[in-house]
Structure 1
Amino acid sequence: MLNTYNYNELSREALNQLMLRNTDPAHTIQETVESIIQSVRNNGDTALFDFTEQFDKVKLEKLYIEEDEIQSLASGIGREQQRALEIAFNNIYKFHQQQLRKEKKIDTMQGVTCWREARPIERVGLYVPGGSAVLPSTFLMLGVPARIAGCKEIVVCCPPQVNGLINGYIAYCAYLLKIKRIYLIGGAQAIGAMAYGTATVPKVDKIFGPGNQFVTKAKTIVQATTNTAIDMPAGPSEVLIIADKTSNPIYVAADLLAQAEHGKDSQAVLVSDSKSMIEQVNEELAKQVEVLPRVEIAKSAIANSYALFCHDLTEAMSFSNAYAPEHLILALDDWRSVVNKITNAGSVFLGHLTPESVGDYASGTNHTLPTSAYAKAYAGVSVDSFIKKITFQHITPVGIKQIGPTVEILAELEGLHAHKNAVTVRLNNKEA
């Protein structure tokens, strides 16, 4: 099932090539996305109606649904499903609420006080995917920290179903999050609408949410061409599992397939110091994949994936840090000895009883994470993603006398005499 490579037999160039994913070498995705975004910018709502009919096969009468329709759809799901979404909501809320902390004021010198205060981003856009799988969990992962941060306006875009509405589970999440309008827009056109604004869709200050390669490309384009920021490049999903002879091949195969069923462009990588374990996992993959409803998608993703045999766990961790996975599973008895070696990963799952699925849904951590090695520089979504931290400072008469001469010297050595003078006039003011 998984093509297997030997870490020590691969050149540096071959390893780098093996780690590539979510690429667009012919720039076909970029050209398509640029065309979509330009059309939305020029034609606004008309383009959104047209793209929805073209891509989602739905002819809409309006681009959104409001509170009464959302409540009607939400009430149509079973109590068991409502309760599961409520538990996930509560756990996500508990975890993220602790991230909003007030910082202390610091006296850097006598009479010189500095501090930071958090302010919410005023208008944020949440993209909730709805392609091959509808993801209410993503709605919670984005909406909960946005609510905790105190964002004044939360704009939500989600592709419509064939009936021109949204999934009942998405609607129930909207109810939990107190969201009263959802825009029925998907793909790159949703990103363009939130970046530029249309007659119907408000322009936002920052866009959040994962998506396919088209959505990811759209986010990077609007970040470069507008004053709208993005959370991170979060494209096709991926998992890297480090296993050894203590691992359970049934669990490992199940975790690989859990990632593979996301989409054909997902990637599931197994890294192990045990050839026997790789063989056992492959046997399990062949058994388990056949009973999945999304078997063809999972098979395509597995064909896009691989196993890597390493001499030991030190080599395995070296590869993992270079790959910088969105999800990292340490399927080991002795995971504690490896944790401190992790430098690059979006979210980490420790031991045999911690599948990635728990983080995807209900443990409380956020599942909107950097992909394609962006975990080397980005963290996953958190409350911090929805706030700005503004610095403040206040200087007393004692303080300006303490720090003033230092600033005068530094300004003069940089040749910025107006900077120096702004301090000098205060030092020379006997009434200050």
Structure 2
Amino acid sequence: MAQAPSDDVPSARALLRERDYLFFWSSRWSGSFASQIQSVAMGWHMYALARETRGVAESALLVGMIGLVTFIPLLLLTLPAGETADRYDRKKVLLCCFAGEIFTVATLAFATWKGAASVPLLLGVAVVFGASRAFFAPSNTALGPMLVPRALLPRAIAWNSLAWQTAAIAGPAAGGLLVRISPADAYAAALVLYVVAAISVTMIRKNAKPEVQPGSRLQLMKEGLSYVWRQKIVFGAISLDLFAVLLGGATALLPVFARDVLHVGAEGFGLLRASPAVGATCVALWLAANPIRAKAGPIMFIGVAVFGAATLVFGLSKMLWLSVAALVMLGGADMLSVYVRQTLVQLVTPDAMRGRVAAVSSVFIGASNELGEFESGVVARILGPVGAAVFGGAGAIAVTAIWARLFPDLRKADRLV
């Protein structure tokens, strides 16, 4: 279990004195804001284009296809990406990733402005976006701990999550408003934010090149996989996230719920899309001020179970206010479980291994998010959007019970500080 020798936890002010971390946080927020706007715009744009010639079920499947084609390069490139993060300067890798993301939104903005956007183009851009994200996640995850003392790591992880979640509130809301004007405006806004994120990375002064371990690239990749498998707390935590979110990914169907279930249009879609982040941000703020000190494992399992229950409520709701409340609860519960998982994994993983472990974790997270979108689209084709959400919520609750039994060390994990 991840334990620290002392109960002393530095204050949040100590974190704010870490100059390089603040630039890292700025980059994380700007990049997350941009990716949220891009995701919202692509989902809405895909559904709008598909509905011109297709029915609700087939259009929902195409929205899910964005997740699938984003996940494929993530799956194929994850091990090389992790090894890259443990071999090369992590700042330079991040800059290359931002360049790839800038290319994707610039392409979409130009094509939309010219009236040339199409379903195949959106799917093709999603592949490039997935390749960029494959290398982004390991380098970004591994860079953060290099910029703060170990004692500040739990707080830094909470603030990292806060950066993502606040961007996830503003991003979908802004994306919903911008796509109402034009998807091209949404893509252009994302482009500007990606540029800001890249500039923030260049301002980090500390050396970001890890100590390279001996061995061939293949040996290092195998070593990363072996480490994750041997560390049952690590494997149990990231696989729990995989299967719970894979089944409970109701957010992938929000364009369908907004347009054809709740009938609230683009503005309502932006509200629904931002709601999980509202709950997550509230929990992240609380965790940033009050890091979890004990009973981390049980807290994580409770979070996943509540996530599944909230997904069930959302699927059955026919009222906007109840749907929003369920999504807020869903986001808060997910934030709680993600915080525990990320802290456990980073505390038990040595720096020289962080890129490879983060790569394995990112492919699990990618499977739960992007592949979960595809799963939701397929199930929605069979059961309808409401049936898909109910199925996913019940599945997440079942996974919680199964994993609590399969991974007793994870269930009994106690201290995070």
Normalised by the shorter chain, which TM-score bucket?
A: under 0.3
Greater radius of gyration (CA): 1
Using structure 1 for the length normalisation, give the TM-score: 0.23
**Normalized per residue, which structure has more helix?**
2
Task: For CA contacts below 8 A with separation 6 or more, give which structure has more relative contact order.
Answer: 2
More strand by share: 1
TM-score w.r.t. the length of structure 2 is 0.24
